[in-house]
Chains A and B, each alone.
Chain A
């Protein structure tokens, strides 16, 4: 491979934009074998790899890419799974551009290696071949661990601990395990069959999954201890939607992004009436917010048949918190970005359905605590947007149920659980936490990183508690 070739990434095919806006099939189509081999060939196999520094779960990146070069795709997937139990998910939704790929040496002179696409390729290859279950490596004393929440953090803790021989029971409040991977991220970005396969893999490892169990209601944390659990991991996520607290927000047609995405993804509202749960979408949809959830909501709206879909965001394009790839996909699909704009009220018709949104124009002022320039309203710049559906995607906060029902579990003023960052241990003995319930809404991979830390912390805790016997 010559130098010039090495600089350019192997592109990945995407569903044509005119087709994909009418369906919920996956947009990014993944590498073929030839493409994966070509991309793997670009990797320099650095003796001192920098990419790994960018990975919150320490995936052995050069090693798995080397196995691809050797045509050992299953081996490559197994290599990733030594550190990451959800490669098919991470290969799709990780912001690699800010993580492993950001540190890739080739990125200094050209395109970094498409590590995410390679990860996706080998895990899809392995899944299609049929996954083998690794042997358990019993290391020391074992105990019984409850996992509260089956999202990326919980799945990671469960997999790591069951592999070490612990008895693991995972509780999920909804009817399907997977957390935000199931209810939040849409089918066209992360097919639910893939999430289900990852959950099934965790079950095959020996984890018992109990759906329909809302911890805090059916059992409190203390009751779980009474029932014989040695340690409990809380990965209950950031599931509570934030609203704007502006007039008219309770009109019909104003959804939280959570409600909208749960109806679409988890309940398959886009297949109503074949499925029982309806989702109503109008012609002109405003999605308020600029993160990945906003992009997902906007792109779902389009696929449900909306004619015009607006992203209404109070800062400028440069500050969009969404992944660049997702913002680009949204633009490509015809989503209209109405930037530096903030809603001030919703108005409705006599039946109580939203039919307009008053907004105010914003300008960027001095940087705020987040380092981003603070949006400031421009006085007198109010205008009306003609809409009939609004989706509020301005963030989520942790569900307070467990915090409210557990004595001795300290939280911050934002309702997140306080933990020791080294071990994931919360302030109550035997309780560990990680993911969005600790960090506030963040990424899948950071939740998995926190899960890894907590799994190690729990394993150590059980050694200390039971090891002497």
Chain B
């Protein structure tokens, strides 16, 4: 069992939890992920690591409570435990002294992006950071990202705060020269940003949240076409050069279990049910 040490509501339905595991914390790096399984009937859910506290021996991750498992997870509080936490899995995000780096985070993904941004800052990069959300209420980690940014922008899908959508990035890309870009967010956002960076041939690293079961290379559910080759997001990624990713295939593969996911979520909403304890 793994204890939830703290739980913070970052925005409506978006939470950050800190989990007790010194072993995981010691080996975690930005860009890697955990797999959580809440109870003995639970599914294995991948969540990207948002930070560690080596003194406390904890690892953090943020999640948006939209599916059955994340909704169950949202009902747990500090002091509660979950059955299984496996990690760190996947490869760390590429971090080095690139020069000028563009970072774009969408929604809940701003939390793990901050972990990457901190590492890039330590490597003396100049950071232009964009924090995006659906509406002004969905913004998370704005202040944290701002604190490491040399230049900072906000955008919302509905224009309720900052820029109206991500279109303004085109102007930024036109005006400034970047050496590296990192995007974390929903696949639609990754695709959109990559479409804008492609004309500049800017290496744009995207973190892919493919469907996964084991997360250790066994099942191949997370396979994705990168540069014309089939790769496993869990073993070869999860960070890839977005310029080479076949996003249309990725979107289709992500939708494979949509009917079942909707059904499970509906059952949860109608019948309730939390994490089975003990």
Contacts and interface: CB of A to CB of B under 8 A. Distances in A.
Interface of A: 173-175, 183, 211-214, 217-219, 239-241, 243, 245, 249-253, 255-256, 258-259, 262-263, 267-268, 272-278, 280, 351-353, 399-401
10 contacts: A175-B37, A175-B83, A175-B84, A212-B87, A214-B86, A243-B223, A273-B264, A275-B43, A351-B255, A352-B249
B216 A277 contact: no
A212 B86 contact: yes
Interface in B211-266: 213-214, 216-221, 223-225, 230, 235, 249, 252-253, 255-257, 260-261, 263-264
B27 A274 contact: no
B181 to A, nearest CB: 26
B26 to A, nearest CB: 8
B41 interface: yes
Top 4 nearest A-B pairs (CB, nearest first) are: A352-B252, A278-B260, A259-B219, A276-B43
B263 A273 contact: yes
A217 B214 contact: no
Contacts of A213: 23, 86
Contacts, number: 124
Contacts of B230: 243, 245, 249-250
B209 interface: no
B88 A217 contact: yes
Q: Is the interface of A mostly helix, strand, loop or mixed?
A: loop
A258 B218 contact: yes
Nearest to B2: A212
B41 A274 contact: yes
Contacts of A250: 223-225, 230, 249, 253
Contact of A276 (B69, B89, B219): B69
Q: Is the interface of B mostly helix, strand, loop or mixed?
A: mixed
A241 B230 CA distance: 12
B167 interface: no
Contacts of A352: 249, 252-253, 255-256
Given A218-B88, A253-B256, A259-B221, 6 more contacts: A272-B260, A273-B260, A275-B42, A276-B69, A280-B257, A400-B217
A283 to B, nearest CB: 16
A239 to B, nearest CB: 4
B213 A267 contact: yes
B219 A241 contact: yes
A122 to B, nearest CB: 30
A218 B260 contact: no
Contacts of A351: 252, 255
B267 interface: yes
Nearest to A249: B230
Nearest to A216: B216
B139 interface: no
Nearest to A174: B214
A259 B213 contact: yes
A218 B219 contact: no
Contacts of A263: 213, 219
Nearest to B26: A218
A213 B86 CA distance: 7
Contacts of B180: none
A269 to B, nearest CB: 9
B220 A259 contact: yes
Contacts of A243: 220, 223, 230
A37 B251 CA distance: 60
B255 A262 contact: no
B27 A219 contact: yes
Given A267-B213, A280-B260, A275 B41 contact: yes
B218 A277 contact: no
A218 to B, nearest CB: 5
B104 interface: no
B213 A277 contact: yes
Nearest to B225: A250
Given A173-B216, A280-B256, A217 B249 contact: no
A90 B2 CA distance: 34
A252 B252 contact: yes
B223 A212 contact: no
Contact of A218 (B24, B235, B249, B255): B24
A268 B252 contact: no
A183 B213 CA distance: 12
Interface string B65-98: 0001100000000000001111111000000000
A211 to B, nearest CB: 7
Contacts of B267: 273
B235 A401 contact: yes
Contacts of A249: 230
B44 interface: yes
B268 to A, nearest CB: 9
A280 B267 CA distance: 18
A263 B213 CA distance: 8
Given A258-B219, A262-B214, A218 B256 contact: no
Contacts of B214: 173-174, 183, 262
A258 B224 CA distance: 17
Which of A214, A240, A259, A276 gathers most chain B CB within 10 Å?
A276
A259 B225 CA distance: 18
Interface in B156-180: none
A173 B23 CA distance: 14
Given A239-B218, A275-B41, A217 B256 contact: no
A262 B214 CA distance: 8
A256 B84 CA distance: 25
Contacts of B44: 175, 267, 277
A258 B220 contact: yes
A267 B219 contact: no
B218 A262 contact: yes
Contacts of A241: 218-220
Contact of B84 (A212, A239, A258, A276): A212
A240 B264 CA distance: 29
Contacts of B88: 217-218
B86 A173 contact: yes
A256 B220 contact: yes
B37 A262 contact: no
Contacts of B223: 243, 250
Given A212-B86, A267-B43, A277-B44, A218 B27 contact: yes
Contacts of B235: 400-401
A218 B84 CA distance: 15
A187 to B, nearest CB: 15
Contacts of B37: 175
Contact of A401 (B217, B255, B257): B217
A256 B219 contact: yes
Which of A239, A252, A277, A278 gathers most chain B CB within 10 Å?
A277
A377 to B, nearest CB: 23
Interface string B5-41: 0000000000000000001100100000000010001
